[in-house]
Every structure is written in C-alpha cells, then in structure tokens.
C-alpha cells in the first residue's frame, strides 16, 4: 500500500547545494514525487511543524533554523516510504549517522541536519496538510512502476 511522507530539504542543505543530491537519492530509490514547493517557512508555520517539540529545550533553535533560509518542501509516495526515507536520511545527528545515509555522508552537525522526514503515518498526514492543499498533490503513473514495485502492485 503506497504511503506518503513530507520531506523537507532544510536551509543548510539548500545553501550547501545538496537539494539535487537529496532529490536524486529518493528518485533513484524509486519513490515518486507528487508535490513540491520552494518556500521560506515563516515562524508560525515552523511552530506548527515542530509543535510536538514545543516543550523541549531546543524548540526555539529548531524554529530559528528552519526559518533561516528557503527550503524545499516535498511530498513523496511509495510503499513504506515513511520508514524508508527515515532510513535513507539516517540518525538525527550527522556525527552519529551511518555512512551511506544522507546525514552520514554530508552532515556532521546536531542542529544543521539537512533533511526532515515525517516519522509516522499520523505525522505525515498532519505535516503534508500544513504545507499542501489536497489539490496540490498530484496523481500520475510512472512508466516503470511495475519494474519498481513488482507484479503485485
Ligand atoms: P527533525 O527530525 O527534522 O525534526 C526534529 C528535530 O529536532 C530534529 O530534526 C533535530 O534537528 C532536532 N532534535 C532532535 N533531538 C534533538 C536534541 N536532543 N538536541 C537538539 N536538537 C534535537
């Protein structure tokens, strides 16, 4: 069953010219991009995105960082994409993330960690609705779909 997830290429990744690399990894994995927008997140949207962290000591820093420059917010779709994207991105802090993951290959910071991805189906639904209206989510087939997902799809 195809899932959807919100992936955000954070301000540090945009500034470090890594947007294409991150999109390319998800594309090559076989996931399908169904929506994207390049925006400067305002404080209100940032606080809503990080609402689950509002009582944490690092909440203000999170809001400051995600609003510090433009980001690429995207919705990706594939079977099991929520867990798959989190695995591809790697552990939260770049210095702990395994080589082969996005953070493991490109990051060494705790705070500047390049990418956000929804951590559950409930978060994905909530976060996608923060950034996109239902009509902005496209529907289309990939010509190589059967080769990506096998005969049962
Ligand atoms: P992300 O998973 O995109 O969204 C939540 C963010 O909180 C996470 O990235 C980190 O940037 C940040 N975060 C999580 N845990 C900590 C922590 N212990 N200290 C500082 N920042 C954290």
> What's the CATH number where 87 sits?
3.30.70.141
- Alpha-carbon span 104 to 91, nearest angstrom: 8
- Could you identify the atom of ligand 1 that is nearest to the CA of residue 117? 3
107 in any annotated domain: yes
Ligand 1 pocket mutation, candidates 13, 58, 103, 131, criterion most atoms within 8 A of CB: 58
- pLDDT per position as a tens digit, 68-109: 999 999 999 999 999 999 999 999 999 999 999 999 999 999
User: Chain-wide mean pLDDT for the chain?
Assistant: 96
65 in any annotated domain: yes
Ligand 1 pocket mutation, candidates 62, 67, 91, 103, criterion most atoms within 8 A of CB: 62
34 in any annotated domain: yes
For the chain, the domain total comes to 1
Model pTM above 0.85? yes
Range of the domain at 77: 2-135
**What's the CA angle centered on 45, arms 114 and 74, to 5 degrees?**
50
């Amino acid at each position: 069953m195809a899932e959807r997830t919100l992936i955000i290429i954070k301000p540090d990744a945009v500034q470090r010219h890594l947007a294409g690399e991150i999109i390319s990894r998800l594309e090559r994995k076989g996931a399908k991009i169904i929506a994207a927008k390049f925006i400067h997140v305002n404080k209100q949207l940032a606080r809503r995105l990080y609402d689950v962290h509002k009582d944490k000591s690092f909440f203000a820093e999170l809001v400051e960082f995600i609003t510090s420059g433009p980001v690429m917010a995207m919705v990706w779709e594939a079977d099991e994409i929520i867990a798959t994207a989190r695995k591809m991105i790697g552990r939260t802090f770049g210095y702990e993330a395994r080589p082969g993951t996005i953070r493991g290959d490109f990051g060494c910071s705790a705070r500047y960690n390049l990418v956000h991805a929804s951590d559950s189906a409930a978060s994905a639904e909530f976060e996608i609705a923060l950034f996109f209206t239902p009509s902005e989510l496209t529907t289309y087939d990939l010509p190589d779909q059967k080769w990506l997902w096998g005969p049962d799809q």
